[in-house]
Amino acid sequence: MVLERRVKILEGKREQAQVLLGTIEGGDVSKVQEAYHQAAQLLKPLIAERARWLATLGAFPEEEVIGDQTIPLLDIGYQTGSSLNKVVIDSEGNMFICRESRNHRDSNFIIDWGSRQELSDYDYVDFALPSLHAIVSKLREALGIRGETPVPDKRRF
């Protein structure tokens, strides 16, 4: 049986705790949000340029989407939110979150391109390395280079 422990502020420290709480909620959070925004502004053009180069070189993959269509999409191999949301990059380098549904022909999942939503700044930062990993992996595959890419595929270290 696990006992629930309540955190208590030391006697005489309540005022300091309230000042700290105000500092975190009022200033620190906005600083972190601004840092995510700045990082995303650096990463968006970098990822877009690399994806466009991959498309220019003819190495950009195509994915089947709902509606029996095939479009240029790079599945970066990560799901977000729930297991039915997938992160993809289009050939212009824009990153999206799309829903997935079961394919009517088989039991595989298929991307619902009509459900796409642009990634938030937080998501761009989180999925930057997996995106570059996916781009490099496709490029290495097209060049016939075997083995693992040195680009990490993990979100957040």
pLDDT average, residue stretch 137-156: 84
| pLDDT score of 123 more than 50 | yes
Note whether residue 148 is domain-resident: no
Can you give the residue range of the structural domain that contains 87? 14-143
The span from the CA of 65 to the CA of 109, in Å, is 9
Note whether residue 2 is domain-resident: no
| pLDDT score of 156 more than 60 | no
Buried/exposed code over 13-38 (b: 16+ C-beta within 10 A; e: otherwise):
eeeeeeeeeeeeeeeeeeeeeeebee
Beta strand residue intervals within 2-94, DSSP E: 62-65, 69-79, 85-90
pLDDT average, residue stretch 110-115: 91
How many domains, the chain? 1
Enter the DSSP assignment of 82. S
pTM above 0.85? Answer: no
Note whether residue 5 is domain-resident: no
Note whether residue 155 is domain-resident: no
Phi, psi (rounded to 5 degrees) for 88: -135, 160
The residue type of 69 is Q
Note whether residue 136 is domain-resident: yes
pLDDT in the model for residue 155? 57
- Among residues 132, 139, 138, the alpha carbon closest in space to that of 153 is found at 132
The residue type of 78 is Y
The residue type of 117 is Q
Q: Which has more pLDDT, 113 or 6?
A: 113
pLDDT in the model for residue 157? 43
Note whether residue 7 is domain-resident: no
Taking only the tens place, the pLDDT of each residue in 13-59 is 989 999 999 999 989 999 999 999 999 999 999 999 999 999 999 98
Provide the 10 A C-beta neighbour count for residue 102.
11
Contact 75, 109 (CB under 8 A): no
Contact 74, 53 (CB under 8 A): no
Note whether residue 8 is domain-resident: no
Note whether residue 157 is domain-resident: no
